[in-house]
Amino acid sequence: MQTADELAQKVGDWVEQDRDEIVAFLSRFLQAKSPNPPGDTREASACVEQFLAAASLPYRVLSGQDHLPNIVGTLDSGRPGKHLVLNGHMDVFPAIEDIPGERSQWSGEVVDGRVYGRGAADMKCGTTAALFAYRYVARLLEQLSGRLTLTVVSDEETGGRWGTGYLMQAIPDEVLGDCCLDGEPSGLATLRFGEKGALRAVLTTKTRGGHGAYPHMSDSAIKIAADLVRELETLADLTPDLPEHILDVLSRPEIREATDKSLGAGACDVVDKATVNIGVIRGGLKVNMLPDECVLEVEIRMPPGLQRSLVERELLSIVARYPTTTWEIRDHHSYDSSWCDPQHEMVAILQQSAEAVTGLRPQPIISLGGSDTRYWRHRGIPAYLYGPSPKTMGRRDEHVTIEELITVVKVHAMSAVRYLNQAQ
């Protein structure tokens, strides 16, 4: 019987042997269009299903909506042990208009050591890592214990209602597990043990409107909304009640440095603070008309220790001072922050695996953005992220480097093997 380190080394060697295949798969996966909205991921799902079928790996497709398939597969060693769940999503940010003469967002082009395409970073690289980890664990199943479950979902980009959320309702015993590993972009310098919560609201201001030369006849809906925007910024001053052990982790110099390295300079200063984003403003018909309607789409990100219920109450208190404004909370896109133990064994396993591959020991941090891992954490199950750089996600030139891709595949596969090699 080989040791966990020996099995991990074997998996690392397999990844190197399969380097060209891994890059080619990600390229094809990126060519399979899956923007959400509108959310049709059937082309991407077919790509994943072909991969699993070619390797004779067990899986099935479950859908709450026909155009949003979810793929689930389980490898059971037949021996008592832990249950690890791998999670990845197929849907990507909404499409942007291609510019003639420039690289298509669906090219999957491999150029100068990079793989380009919509969703390369968020998160088809990480989902590719989950798929190959699943294949490698299948080869070693006789030497492991417990179970490994693969979940490749749709609908993460619009809240997860028909993706991970659907699986949690339909087959919870199959997909909850003892721990979840996810490949969302984190940056190789960090792994994520928690993330901010989100509150999304639509605020609509309506007035009588009229001719712009007659401001005495009606208020301007846009001017009222502008005043409202200024007041909404005060929500960023709400103070979280962070648990002491989380405060201790986030305040360490090496973790602050790693946070900025992965998420951009200044990230460490906003991890423990609420942020307010006015993402959409719609209003006005013509320059010489008083606008009779202005719509604001607002998102507040909340650090651990700042409850959604408190932020929502403060938001509605502000809106109540604007009698011409109505509100709608988008519940499917709103959720509390989540976190788990930054000293869990999976953290040590990910650090060991990553350090063996890159020489860099990733530091545990809180994520600025959201992911499906909250579905596990909200149910008391630890869930961790390790993935490529987030810096190009959503951009016209979104990409991952081949070295990032290979590293993430190695770290996920090696960590899965190490976790399932542990005694119960």
* Ordered domains of the chain (ranges, CATH): 4-195+337-420 (3.40.630.10), 197-245+268-333 (3.30.70.360)
Walk along the chain (424 residues) in steps of 10 and give the mean pLDDT of each run.
90 98 98 96 98 98 96 97 98 92 94 97 98 98 96 95 96 97 95 96 97 95 98 96 86 92 89 96 96 98 95 98 97 93 96 97 93 97 96 93 98 98 62
List all residues 6 or more positions away from 24 whose beta carbon is below 8 Å from its beta carbon: none
- The C-alpha atoms of residue 90 and residue 287 are separated, in whole angstroms, by 42
Position 424 scores a pLDDT of 41
Q: Which residue has the tokens 């719509």?
A: 295
pLDDT at 242: 83
Distance in angstroms (rounded) separating the CA atoms of residues 285 and 117: 36
Cα–Cα dist 263/255, whole Å? 12
Phi, psi of 251 (to 5 degrees): -90, -10
Residue 133 and residue 363: Cα distance in Å, rounded? Answer: 22
Closest among 239, 26, 238 to 116, alpha carbons compared: 26
**pLDDT of amino acid 422:** 67
Q: How many degrees, rounded to 5, is the angle at CA 126 between CA 103 and CA 409?
A: 110
What are the two backbone dihedrals, phi and then psi, of residue 166, each rounded to the nearest 5 degrees? Answer: -65, -45
Whether residue 235 contacts residue 336, with contact meaning beta carbons closer than 8 Å, is answered with no
CA distances from 307 to 113, 327, 403 (A): 43, 19, 39
- For residue 14, the SS3 value is helix
How much is the pTM?
0.92
